[in-house]
Amino acid sequence: EAGVVQSPRYKIIEKKQPVAFWCNPISGHNTLYWYRQNLGQGPELLIRYENEEAVDDSQLPKDRFSAERLKGVDSTLKIQPAELGDSAVYLCASSLGPTRPQFFGPGTRLTVL
């Protein structure tokens, strides 16, 4: 069974530029999460989806971050404009439901110059 797929794996941009990350969850997983992991820290939740509905986006910096999960499968996370402090690894995870273990993709390492 294929795992969570993320692209791109690496992205380098200049500050104030926009950037987007894509995630394809494990087939049949209705719950999808986006996390951000800073160097030396554990992942921190940005947003959680149940199917196409964002049920928890309280940690998403809404002035510059946006996310969507059209049709309840793939998801895109966008930053516009990016700031230096956005440099981090962005992880996507999915699970069969909100009370089941989450499975992570390889992440996208973002560097903002």
Partner 1 sequence: DQQVKQNSPSLSVQEGRISILNCDYTNSMFDYFLWYKKYPAEGPTFLISISSIKDKNEDGRFTVFLNKSAKHLSLHIVPSQPGDSAVYFCAASVRTGGGADGLTFGKGTHLIIQP
Residues that bind partner 1 in the complex, under the rule CB under 8 A: 4, 6, 33, 35, 40-45, 48, 50, 55-56, 91, 93, 98-99, 101-107
Phi, psi at 70, each rounded to 5°: -70, 140
DSSP 8-class letter at 2: -
Give the number of residues written for the chain: 113
Name the residue nearer to partner 1 (CB basis): 43 or 82.
Answer: 43
Q: How many CA atoms lie within 13 A of 21 on its CB side?
A: 30
Name the residue nearer to partner 1 (CB basis): 81 or 109.
Answer: 109
Name the residue nearer to partner 1 (CB basis): 22 or 104.
Answer: 104
